Amino acid sequence: MATLDVQNVHTYYGNIHALRSVSLTVQDGEIVTLIGSNGAGKSTTLRTISGILQPREGRILLDGQPINRLAAHEIVERGVCQVPEGRRIFSRMTILENLEMGAFARKDRAAIQDDLARVFDLFPRLKERIGQKGGTLSGGEQQMLAIGRAMMAQPKVLLLDEPSMGLAPILVETIFQTVQEINRQGVTVLLVEQNALMALQVADRGYVLETGAIVLDDSAANLRENETVQKAYLGIE
C-alpha cells in the first residue's frame, strides 16, 4: 500500500480544468519528483493534495485513508505538510517564531524542543540567527526556514514546491543535500522542481506532467535517459 495515493484526480479553477485524471503514488521512504513546464499543473497537484484546493473528482489516500475531503489543517495533522512556492514565511516574525508556528497543531509540546534541535542540526545558520526577523533573511535562508517550519509539524510526507527557485547554484546544492538528509531520516518526499536535472538526480522515481495530465512515469534514472525528457526538460539535444 502506497503512503500517498492520488487516484484519477480532477481539479478546477472555476471553469478551467487544471488537472485531468491525475494519478500518482509515493511509497514509504521514497523521493518522487513531478516535472513539467510552467503551467503544467505541478503546483496545483500539490495544493490539491494538501487540501488548499478540493478535487472535483477522484480520491487522495494517505496510508489507505481518504484525505481529499479534509480541511487543509486536518491534512497537516495527518502528516502531510507543504513547503509552498515562494517560501511564504512570516516576514515580521523571528526565525524561532516561524518554527514554532510549524508546530501549532501538535499536542506533544514536550517534544517540540527536540524537533527544534533537529531543524538547527539541518540548518545551523538558522540557529545562529534565531532572533532575526524572517523578512530580513536572504532567499536561501528563507527557504531553509520554510523547510524547517514544515519539519516542525513532524511530517510523514513532505510536499516541496520549487525549493531551488531564485537561489544561487551553491545554495541549490545545499538545499537538495538537505532534502536527501530529511529523506534519510524517514520522511517521504514529493518534489516539484523546475530544475529537472537536479530533481531527477535526487529522486527515486518521477512523473512528467503536461497540461494537467500525467504523460510519463518511470524511475528517475530512466527518465534522465529518455530522449523526450532530455530535449524538453534537461536541455540536451
pLDDT at 237 over 70: no
pLDDT tens across 188-211, in order? Answer: 999 999 899 999 999 999 999 999
**Rounded to 5 degrees, what are φ and ψ at 116?**
-60, -45
The residue segments making up the domain with residue 139 are: 4-233
Rounded to the nearest 5°, which phi and psi values hold at 223? -65, -35
**Given this model, what pLDDT does residue 194 score?**
87
155: Cβ–Cβ under 8 A, 6 or more apart, which residues? 79, 80, 81, 187
* CATH number of the domain to which 154 belongs: 3.40.50.300
Closest CA to 202 of 186, 216, 217, 182: 182
Average pLDDT, the chain: 92
C-alpha cell at 152: 516542525
Residue 163 identity = P
Domain count within the chain: 1
Per-range mean pLDDT, top range of 62-76, 84-98, 99-113? 62-76
Is residue 201 packed enough to be buried (19+ CB in 10 Å), middle (13-18) or exposed (0-12)? middle
